Amino acid sequence: MKTALLVTSLLLCVFCASTCQIPPVPPEVEKVKSQENDLWRAGAPIYAAEEYALYIETLRVAREKLIKQNARLRWFRDYKEVRADYVVLLAQGDALIEKVQAEKRTQSKDYSQRLARLEERMGKIKSLTRSMNENAPVRENLARAAVVSREAEILIRDEKYSDLAPKLDLIDGHIRQAEEALFSILARYADDAQVARWRKLAEDTVSESRRRGTTAVLVNKLARSLTLFKKGKEIAVYEIGLGKHGLSDKLYAGDEATPEGRYRIVKKNANSRYYKALLLDYPNEYDRRQFALAKKKGLIPAQAAIGGLIEIHGGGNDFLTNGCVGVENAVMDRIFSEVAVGTVVTIVGSLENAQKLLTGLGISGS
């Protein structure tokens, strides 16, 4: 009888074990697993580190509860609390994904704007170098900045924002070096006293033209312009080209600089190798004094000669002269017909202080 009872009990247990409904692990558990993977791929550990750490901690606690339930005998498992925790986690994860995406959008916008500002600076400097033949150190730094800028563009495209800050700093560094190189070229042009001297020279030339009723030529090196005056009145403005170091004041032969000062046309050559040419009386007395002083100070090679043959000639304004002022042939025809031997030609660096120009680029110049 006892044996029958024992067997019946065992059979009952086996029956219960096979027919009793065992609560399944909530589907939210798998969903969270996949969600956590998505969060990691989206870069949550980088773009929402604090929230992601909190999410992982909540997940750890929920997992502990899941483990606890899984460890119980299957008939006694109750996943209600576990499910509730994982539902909360899913909501937390969804919010986190949105935050990560929002953060990435913000970073993309911020970095794109910073990069655009840097590229704008590069563009401004580059445009200045186009009218400046001594641009090599500036262009070199701009080229280096352009390489890093392209790398930064690719990082933004690939959403690798964490690597961007140092790249942007590097671009900024190269731009600063380009600006410094630019400033070293334009420093003279940002000097008030120097600009005032040039202005005075130009005003005297125009006044003389007005007073004597003569024609005068004013060359502005920084503005790359040649202005023709008749009886003190501006009658035409033309674009010019200069030498490799056209923005520097000429000191000696072969320096490829264009002299600054008051000169006169000493010869009109209608058959120049550069179409037509107007020979100037460079070097004048002032130039000779400056040359002697520079030589004495050792600023120029001991064997250097003062040079000469500075002309306004045709052949075009878009090529490098050896210190002369180049204009288009059609312009040369017009000038040639308006001037005579003895016409005053005043060459100045600039009539405007370049500080304004440099400040526009964000260079203090001080």
Main-chain dihedrals φ then ψ at residue 178, nearest 5 degrees = -65, -40
Q: Does 320 bind another protein (CB under 8 A)?
A: yes
Number of other residues whose CB lies within 10 A of the CB of residue 29:
18
343, 218 in Cβ contact below 8 A? no
Within 13 Å of residue 354, how many CA atoms lie on the same side as its CB? Answer: 25
Considering beta carbons, is residue 44 or 265 the nearer one to another protein? 44
Q: Which stretch in 149-157, 189-197, 341-349, 350-358 sits in contact with another protein by CB under 8 A?
A: 149-157
Q: Does 67 bind another protein (CB under 8 A)?
A: yes
Q: Does 151 bind another protein (CB under 8 A)?
A: yes
313, 276 in Cβ contact below 8 A? yes
Q: Among 74, 80, 150, 200, which residue sits at the site for another protein (rule: CB under 8 A)?
A: 150
**Can you tell me the distance from the alpha carbon of 44 to that of 52, in angstroms, rounded to the nearest whole number?**
6
Q: Does 117 bind another protein (CB under 8 A)?
A: no
Number of residues that bind another protein (CB under 8 A): 39
Q: Which stretch in 58-66, 104-112, 208-216, 296-304 sits in contact with another protein by CB under 8 A?
A: 58-66
**Can you tell me the distance from the alpha carbon of 324 to that of 259, in angstroms, rounded to the nearest whole number?**
9
- The dihedral region occupied by 99, where left means phi > 0, alpha psi between -120 and 50, and beta the remainder, is alpha
275, 329 in Cβ contact below 8 A? yes
Closest CA to 335 of 252, 236, 206, 259: 236
CB of 315 to another protein, least distance (A): 6
Q: Among 57, 68, 196, 234, which residue sits at the site for another protein (rule: CB under 8 A)?
A: 68
Q: Does 63 bind another protein (CB under 8 A)?
A: yes
Q: Does 37 bind another protein (CB under 8 A)?
A: yes
CB of 139 to another protein, least distance (A): 4
Q: Which two tokens stand for residue 88?
A: 């909360």
Q: Does 162 bind another protein (CB under 8 A)?
A: no
Q: Site residues (CB under 8 A) for another protein?
A: 2-3, 33, 37, 40-41, 63-64, 66-68, 70-71, 129-130, 133, 135-144, 146-148, 150-151, 154, 241, 244, 315-316, 318-320
